[in-house]
């Protein structure tokens, strides 16, 4: 079978490619009219190919609308789709041990795979589960119209830097309703969807959010910082209709939803496993069950999840102090932690299964996480197979291992691909 024919055959839904077939497919890839370039891995201890091309589009709107919620350090849906499409078959388990907003989970479900996810932050499940069980827009409208959100209630005064008093009152009443429903065990799929959308609309820098102008919605600025923003911009929080904003965002999220996709999501929901746990210790996952892992780990001290999610956690009644999210500033500590994660991934993978592990440059390009990840993966028993660099700008690909690649206009992802021995 020729390389192009091999690739075309896989597009028709054949089973997972072998490592050899994947190398051939990626080396000959030219879907966007560009040839794959072959580079050397920067660490001579690892003799693996580095493939550079535009393997998937960077256009967010090319993916399903269901993905369009904000979360720090999340990759675009096209990344997991590229690997799920080639390295899994129908009904295979696809796992993300750092699931975040659930990009891998939702994409796996839409492709007819069995999604498995894990995140130490309980906020993650609140963002993912409702999108495996999306209500119809009429149910959302009816539920919101039936809630009394204007009744008098005690407000958290420090949040008035973000919200008009009447907006904060309706938010507070909605928060109380959702928490009471959850405590009573009566929170249904419509409530869960409303909670997910409201969590995503808490703050942002457009009229589509509940708040006055602030940082982008994937970051929650501090009270003090918001006061400074308000003073600098001479702004006061405007009145927002949170019901209409939730309905508007729901329409946007559901705009591409088709009957077939609802059926796929229902099947996936019934078979999915979503854990709130540490990625290096998941005894609830059966050994030898996962065909493919697609994930992006926490980078070295780049994202402060506690700081970025404090307001979301408040709205959902989550104690941030009780969430032991990793903040790994020391490269040696990061590598040791990832060695344990890789050991757990090696355990849950099927023989011959793969790990697509997105890495990035940190500290101005002085540290390349792949040079830390590969030794960790190898120590855990995984086989380094290749590095895939997706790039929409080829003027600097010869510098894709250095700071030149960080210049404005270059958009890349770097994925380390690992494999479990077929003999295990």
Looking at the domain assignment, is residue 132 inside a domain? no
The confidence band for 14, taking pLDDT boundaries of 50, 70 and 90, is low
SS3 88: coil
Torsion of CA 283, 288, 294, 297, to 10 degrees: 40
Looking at the domain assignment, is residue 86 inside a domain? yes
Examine the fold and report which residue of 253, 269, 288 is the final residue of a domain before the chain moves on.
Answer: 253
- Give the HSE-up count for residue 218: Cα atoms under 13 Å, Cβ half-sphere: 12
What would the pLDDT profile of 380-416 be if each residue is shown by its tens digit? 999 999 999 998 654 444 444 443 343 333 356 889 9
Residue 257 has a pLDDT of 96
Residue 118, Cα to own-chain centre: how many angstroms?
11
Same domain, 278 and 411: yes
Examine the fold and report which residue of 232, 253, 274 is the final residue of a domain before the chain moves on.
Answer: 253
Looking at the domain assignment, is residue 206 inside a domain? yes
Q: Do you know the residue count of the chain?
A: 424
Same domain, 161 and 106: no
Residue 304 has a pLDDT of 62
Same domain, 106 and 237: no
Same domain, 61 and 203: no
pTM of the model: 0.90
Same domain, 411 and 283: yes
Please spell the DSSP secondary structure of 7-69, one letter per residue.
HHHHHTT--PPPHHHHHHHHHT--TTS-PPEEEE-SSTT---EEEEE--S---GGGS-GGG--
Same domain, 106 and 246: no
Q: How far apart are CA 399 and CA 185, in angstroms?
A: 55
Phi first, then psi, for residue 213 (nearest 5°) are: -55, 130
Examine the fold and report which residue of 227, 253, 279 is the final residue of a domain before the chain moves on.
Answer: 253
- Give the HSE-up count for residue 71: Cα atoms under 13 Å, Cβ half-sphere: 25
Looking at the domain assignment, is residue 293 inside a domain? yes
Same domain, 400 and 263: yes
State the residue range of the domain holding 236: 137-253
Looking at the domain assignment, is residue 300 inside a domain? yes
C-alpha distances in Å from residue 361, one per residue of 63, 98, 128, 412: 25, 18, 28, 10
Looking at the domain assignment, is residue 184 inside a domain? yes
Read off the tokens for 13.
């839904």
Same domain, 277 and 398: yes
Same domain, 234 and 164: yes
What would the pLDDT profile of 353-390 be if each residue is shown by its tens digit? 999 999 866 655 566 788 899 999 999 999 999 999 99
Residue 92 has a pLDDT of 97
What would the pLDDT profile of 100-131 be if each residue is shown by its tens digit? 999 999 999 999 999 999 999 999 999 999 99
Looking at the domain assignment, is residue 73 inside a domain? yes
Same domain, 103 and 165: no
**Domain total of the chain:** 2
Nearest CA to 96 out of 86, 112, 79 is that of 79
Looking at the domain assignment, is residue 424 inside a domain? no
Residue 319 has a pLDDT of 86
Same domain, 298 and 167: no
Q: How far apart are CA 271 and CA 283, in angstroms?
A: 18
Same domain, 246 and 268: no
Q: Does residue 166 or residue 3 have the better pLDDT?
A: 166
């Amino acid at each position: 079978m020729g390389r192009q024919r091999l690739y075309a055959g896989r597009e028709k839904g054949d089973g997972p490619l072998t490592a050899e077939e994947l190398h051939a497919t990626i080396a000959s890839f030219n879907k966007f009219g560009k040839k794959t370039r072959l580079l050397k891995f920067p660490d001579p201890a690892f003799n693996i190919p580095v493939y550079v091309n535009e393997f998937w589009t960077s256009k967010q709107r090319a993916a399903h609308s269901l993905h369009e919620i904000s979360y720090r350090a999340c990759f675009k849906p096209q990344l997991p789709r590229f690997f799920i499409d080639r390295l899994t078959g129908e009904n295979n388990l696809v796992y993300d041990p750092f699931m975040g907003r659930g990009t891998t989970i939702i994409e796996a479900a839409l492709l007819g795979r069995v999604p498995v996810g894990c995140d130490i932050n309980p906020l993650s499940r609140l963002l993912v589960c409702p999108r495996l069980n999306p209500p119809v827009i009429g149910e959302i409208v009816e539920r919101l119209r039936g809630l009394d959100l204007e009744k008098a209630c005690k407000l958290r005064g420090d949040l008035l830097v973000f919200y008009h008093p009447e907006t904060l009152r309706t938010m507070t009443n909605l928060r109380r309703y959702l928490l009471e429903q959850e405590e009573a065990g009566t929170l249904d799929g419509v409530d869960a969807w409303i909670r997910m959308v409201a969590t995503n609309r808490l703050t942002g820098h457009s009229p589509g959010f509940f708040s006055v102008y602030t940082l982008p919605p994937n970051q929650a600025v501090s009270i003090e910082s918001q006061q400074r923003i308000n003073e600098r911009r001479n702004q006061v929080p405007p009145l927002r209709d949170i019901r209409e904003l939730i309905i508007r965002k729901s329409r946007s999220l559901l705009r591409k939803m088709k009957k077939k996709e609802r059926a796929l999501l229902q099947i996936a929901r019934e078979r999915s496993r979503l854990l709130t746990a540490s990625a290096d210790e998941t005894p609830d996952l059966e050994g030898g069950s996962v065909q493919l892992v697609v994930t992006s780990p926490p980078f070295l001290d780049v994202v402060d999840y506690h700081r970025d999610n404090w307001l979301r956690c408040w709205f959902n009644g989550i104690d941030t102090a009780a969430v032991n999210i990793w903040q790994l500033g020391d490269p040696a500590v990061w590598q040791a932690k990832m060695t344990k994660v890789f050991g757990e991934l090696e355990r849950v993978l099927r023989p011959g299964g793969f790990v697509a592990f997105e890495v990035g440059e940190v500290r101005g390009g002085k540290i390349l996480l792949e040079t830390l990840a590969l030794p960790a993966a190898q120590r855990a028993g995984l086989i380094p197979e290749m590095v895939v660099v997706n790039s929409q700008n080829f003027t600097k690909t010869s510098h894709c291992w250095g700071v030149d690649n960080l210049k404005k206009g270059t958009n890349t992802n770097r994925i380390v691909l690992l494999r479990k021995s077929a003999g295990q």
